[in-house]
Structure 1
């Protein structure tokens, strides 16, 4: 089976994650027009690349289901993980600035995406204010995500970074109708460490810390949040302030 496999065409109105994607809030007629610029769904096997850094921007990719990571590689071969994407989120916006992708997008499990031809998307967005609004919202969300990452790197210690990461996943799971307190991590601990700017051993110590404090229960990649308010307090600095007092 090829790493990328075209599937039959689908419509935005029948998609299970349409309320999180570009078609949210659009009329049935406008949603149908959006569907027409999605040629066909594409299945991406676990470990396969949807696109690589240096590839020309041809489409944005709405994740229908599955999980992806994006990575940047330095000239000396070091890899920095820059984000995780799940159903209802949009991959490929990194290529909009210069019409070339700057990162790799790798499937962390068997996944499915809807390619949206970018030149046609731009044209349609000029005709449909609701689509332009949704596209702007998604681009703004990317900026906010970058700002949150800077906050993680600059102000939080290892345990707080991990707490913020788990809270972010919890919120995104809840938005998709899944349990916000019990879920399976699709990424490795090495991936988490790369994303949070921490070594693997530091991630392991941070997990042990949260486990010993009774905040989470971790078994392999299965995570159960036992005290979500403590997690929030850690990220907000309350735990650190209390310790100083």
Structure 2
């Protein structure tokens, strides 16, 4: 298992990858506002850059690190987690391509959680002081940043609802449906996808023990709702899965 901090585990990115800019990135509609002029996109290009890659288990940042940048996930995926006093890790979120992470540190100027790569991943770094200054010049960029922050608040409220009022199978159904919707938004299959996180990590996120989450997966498979092969999931009956969470 990798233990070193993120500063000494970054892997080099090929020169061709470094040439990718916001203006010609196929993820721009997911993580950046649409409708920016060519000049405004060029301004955004000038402050962002593709960082080196991260292997599975590498840290993008650690709890307590000084806040300097937001990160847009260009490829791969991450999890965020906090460490309890007794040493237990609590997963607080899973982030995928096109999503921005690091927002937890804006208020305190220090990160309040760890961000760990779930697979080989690359991120675009957006220095926050430069992004904030640019957003004052570009109102649509400022509105987009506010929307991202609002979305995080809504997501946190959703997690609280999940943990406070749902049974185990309802929690798993809501989790799978959330992934389905996020994959669909990226033009990927909403019914067939790979889980980059382990069942233990899913259980930690949903507030369930490993045995409970494994039982819920088995029940869904036995009932013909899903098909699971290692970490490959196929949703066989989307309407019935929606019925578990009243949607």
**TM-score (norm. length: structure 2):** 0.92
Question: Residue 105 of structure 1 aligns to a residue in which SS?
Answer: strand
Where in structure 1 do 4 or more consecutive aligned residues deviate above 4 Å?
A: none
Q: Give the Cα–Cα distance (whole angstroms) in 2 for the partners of residues 154 and 109 of structure 1.
A: 30
CA distance in 2, matches of 1:40, 1:10: 7
**Match in the other structure for 2:61:** 51
Counterpart in the other structure of 1:74? 84
**CA distance 1:36–1:23, change in 2 (3 Å):** farther
- Counterpart of 2:224 in structure 1 is 214
Aligned to 2:146, which of 121, 136, 142?
A: 136
Q: Say whether 1:30 aligns with 2:40.
A: yes
Q: Which residue of 2 aligns with 1:182?
A: 192
CA offsets per residue over residues 93-142 of structure 1, 9 Å max, x none?
Answer: 00101000000000000001000001111111111001001101111110
- Once residues 25 and 229 of structure 1 are traced to their aligned partners in structure 2, the CA distance between those partners, rounded to angstroms, is 35
The 5 Å alignment of 1:199-238 reads 199-236=209-246
| Alpha carbons 1:92, 1:101 under 8 Å: kept | yes
Alpha-carbon RMSD across the aligned residues, in angstroms, is: 1.3
Aligned positions, number? 236
Secondary structure of the structure 2 residue equivalent to 1:235: coil
Partner of 1:149: 159
Mapped contact 2:50–2:122 kept (Cα < 8 A)? no
Query: What secondary structure sits across from 1:223 in the alignment?
Result: strand
What is the alpha-carbon distance in structure 1 between the residues aligned to residue 55 and residue 37 of structure 2?
Answer: 33
After superposing the two structures, state which structure 1 stretch, 4-13 or 154-163, moved more: 4-13
Distance in 2 between residues matched to 1:151 and 1:189, nearest whole Å: 21
Q: Distance in 2 between matches of 1:144 and 1:67?
A: 21
Note if contact 1:24-1:134 (Cα within 8 Å) is conserved in structure 2: no
Question: Does residue 4 of the first structure (1) align with residue 4 of the second (2)?
Answer: no
Structure 2 residue 89 is the aligned partner of structure 1 residue 83: no
- The answer to whether structure 1 residue 122 and structure 2 residue 132 are counterparts is yes
5+ residue gaps, structure 1, are: 238-245
**3-state DSSP class of the match of 2:81?**
strand
Runs of 5+ in structure 2 lacking a partner? 1-7
Q: In the alignment, is the contact (CA less than 8 A) between 2:21 and 2:49 conserved in 1?
A: no
- Structure 1 CA distance, aligned partners of 2:35 and 2:154? 22
Normalising by structure 1, what TM-score? 0.93
**Structure 1 residues 221, 30: closer, same or farther in 2, change over 3 A?**
same
CA–CA separation in structure 2 for the residues paired with 1:65 and 1:177: 14
